[in-house]
Amino acid sequence: MKYLLLIYEKEADWAAIPEAEKGKIFQEYMDYSKRIRKSGNYIGGEALQPVSTATTVRVKNGKTLTTDGPFAETREQLGGFFLVDAKDLDEAIALAAGIPGSRTGSIEVRPIMPTPPVE
Amino acid sequence: MDLDTLYREERPRALATLIRLLGDFDLAEDGLQEAFAAALEQWPAAGVPRNPRAWLVSTARHKAIDRVRRDKSLAAKQAEIAYLGEVAVPAPGLAEQPFTDDLMRLIFTCCHPALALEAQVALTLKTLCGLSVDEIARAFLVPPSTMAQRLVRAKAKIRGARIPYEVPGSDQLAERLDGVLRVVYLVFNEGYAATSGDALVRRELCNEAIRLGRLLRTLFPDASEVAGLLALTLLHDSRRAARLDERGDLVTLEEQDRSRWDRGQIAEGQALAEAALRRGGAGFYALQAAIAALHAQAVRAGETDWPQIAALYALLLRLHPSPVVALNHAAAVAMGERLDRGLRLIEQLEAGGELQSYHLLPAAKADILRRLGRRAEAAAAYERALELVTHEAERRYLERRLREVRSTP
């Protein structure tokens, strides 16, 4: 069975942590991902850029509507995800608008944090 | 031409090219500012270079590169972007087109739909118009720190989410241009509609919107909505001197001293509005410009071509249905055809309930009732409008009308 592990936290709290402390937590993440690679559980994982870089995409009557900011409705629930490579936000938005769910729900487009590769 | 004027003219294109070369808004803006400071020192003695824009771009680029070399944290940021030094600077004496292409890129990036509308407006005023954070904050009545934060966030999103520095392709262009026009329209309205706050800054906003409109017109000479928006802003702005009395109270169109309207702006606006209509595809802005042109044409309020205005509002209502347009249509029908027909349309809108908290609905109704001589009903409608109005000058206007209908026998 595959599982998606979603990480929720308060961005403001994270921003307030001193740099040295951040480095320690980052190292913990590296260690964790190494551990689950070794155990064979790892499939993939990424850190996301802050919600301030998010764009929400909906398609109504064939028209793509974009809004600045994350998906903020509580009436709809997370139903799936695609991880895509796109040359810029415009291409990512176009890809999001192609997802069938963009007509009935919302697609939140979040850029992935560029991270150094793990050896 | 003095150096400030020269800078003002050259700034948008120079900045747009620098942002492409440096891949960073802040680096480009700071570099350009330093380059201009250097120009102020050197040019008066050495003379203005043959191509001042190319000089500004290349000097600013060197200043920016120096800055990146001095500052390690900037260097780290720059490594991420990896643009620096890869792209050629346009050579002095080079054709206009590359600069114009960059300017279009900058406009579409500032008005990108993935940015919040208020951020698009702030970014446009900051980068394209060169207004300071303090000026923009004063114009929008927010603390400077809030406005600064808004700009920082917008630039971070452009960088972080990789909003492209590109002119949209032909399949997107019309829609994206609409977005740009909406930003310019908003800038103008912010300066024109409200009379609270800093009058000078508000005036500046109207001027900037007109300046942006002229710029867009040079870039998109065939788009009728671009001509329409420029016409609309020119025509509205032409009444600026007559709109407020010496106490700062709003003077209605009907009561304005039309000799104080700016005839030059009216002539330019009318020509543009006509061109936009002739070209076809007249939309939201061109139709409103045509209506404004008809108002501007009337030497006295009594000579206003209300039937034509009502017809244009009917067209606008069909293309862009909205309760506010419907209200304007009803008011024009009342003036142009029959008061009671206009009143019936307003009553239908009232029953629809969409404008229940909009003070101009009871105000328009009160006006028609006053003209019909139904004073008691007019007074009740003015009272209702007064409950809803928030703008001080408008409040005083409504109070004056209420006193009139109460006192005249």
Q: pLDDT, tens digit, for every residue of A83-104?
A: 999 999 999 999 999 999 999 9
CA B276 to the chain's CA centroid: 18
Domain residue ranges of chain A, discontinuous segments joined by +: 10-45, 51-109
Separation between Cα atoms, residue B148 and residue B271, nearest integer Å: 39
* B160 with A53: Cβ contact below 8 A: yes
Domains and CATH numbers, chain B: 1-94 (1.10.1740)
- Among A55-64, A73-82, B4-13, B384-393, the range with the most confident prediction by mean pLDDT is A55-64
Instruction: Return the closest-CA partner of residue B54 out of B88, B78, B24, B30.
Output: B88
- Cross-chain CB nearest to A89 (options B80, B114, B172): B114
CA distances from B136 to B94, B155, B206, B211, B402 (A): 34, 16, 13, 16, 37
- Cross-chain CB nearest to B156 (options A52, A66, A90): A52
- Cross-chain CB nearest to A53 (options B80, B116, B161): B161
| B81 at interface of A, judged by CB pairs closer than 8 A | no
3-state secondary structure chain B: CCHHHHHHHHHHHHHHHHHHHHCCHHHHHHHHHHHHHHHHHHHHHHCCCCCHHHHHHHHHHHHHHHHHHHCHHHHHHHHHHCCCCCCCCCCCCCCCHHHHHHHHHHHHHHCCCCCCHHHHHHHHHHHHCCCCHHHHHHHCCCCHHHHHHHHHHHHHHHHHCCCCCCCCCHHHHHHHHHHHHHHHHHHHHHHHCCCCCCHHHHHHHHHHHHHHHHHHHHHCCCCHHHHHHHHHHHHHHCCHHHHECCCCCECCHHHCCHHHCCHHHHHHHHHHHHHHHHHCCCCHHHHHHHHHHHHHHCCCHHHCCHHHHHHHHHHHHHHCCCHHHHHHHHHHHHHHCCHHHHHHHHHHHHHHCCCCCCCHHHHHHHHHHHHCCCHHHHHHHHHHHHHHCCCHHHHHHHHHHHHHHHHCC
Which pLDDT value is given to residue B334?
95
The CB-side HSE value for B90 (13 A sphere, CA atoms) comes to 25
| B347 at interface of A, judged by CB pairs closer than 8 A | no
Which pLDDT value is given to residue B202?
80
* A55 with B114: Cβ contact below 8 A: yes
Which pLDDT value is given to residue B141?
82
What is residue A55's three-state secondary structure?
strand
| B115 at interface of A, judged by CB pairs closer than 8 A | yes
A61 interaction partners in chain B (CB closer than 8 Å): none
Q: Which region among A25-39, A63-77, B123-137 has the lowest average model confidence (pLDDT)? A: A63-77
Which site among A51, A57, A68 would you substitute to test the B interface, given the most B Cβ atoms closer than 10 Å to its Cβ?
Answer: A68
User: Model ipTM?
Assistant: 0.86
How far off is chain A from B317, nearest CA to CA, in Å? 21
Which pLDDT value is given to residue B315?
94
| A70 at interface of B, judged by CB pairs closer than 8 A | no
Whether the Cβ atoms of residue B230 and residue B252 lie closer than 8 Å to each other: no
| A50 at interface of B, judged by CB pairs closer than 8 A | yes
The mean pLDDT of A19-43, rounded to a whole number, is: 92
Which pLDDT value is given to residue B138?
85
* B162 with A55: Cβ contact below 8 A: no
The CB-side HSE value for B312 (13 A sphere, CA atoms) comes to 22
| A66 at interface of B, judged by CB pairs closer than 8 A | yes
Which pLDDT value is given to residue B188?
94
| A59 at interface of B, judged by CB pairs closer than 8 A | no
Whether the Cβ atoms of residue A70 and residue A105 lie closer than 8 Å to each other: no
- The interface residues of chain B toward chain A in range 53-72, judged by CB-CB distance below 8 A, are none
Which pLDDT value is given to residue B8?
87
Give pLDDT tens digits along chain B (409 positions). Answer: 688 888 888 999 999 999 998 888 999 999 999 999 999 999 999 998 988 999 999 999 999 888 888 876 666 665 544 444 444 455 555 567 888 899 999 999 999 999 999 999 999 999 999 999 998 998 888 899 999 999 999 999 999 999 999 999 988 899 999 999 999 999 999 888 765 666 777 888 999 999 999 999 999 999 999 999 999 999 999 999 898 888 777 788 888 999 999 999 999 999 999 999 888 777 999 999 999 999 999 989 999 999 999 999 999 999 999 999 999 999 999 998 899 999 999 999 999 888 888 999 999 999 999 999 999 999 999 999 999 988 777 888 899 999 999 886 6
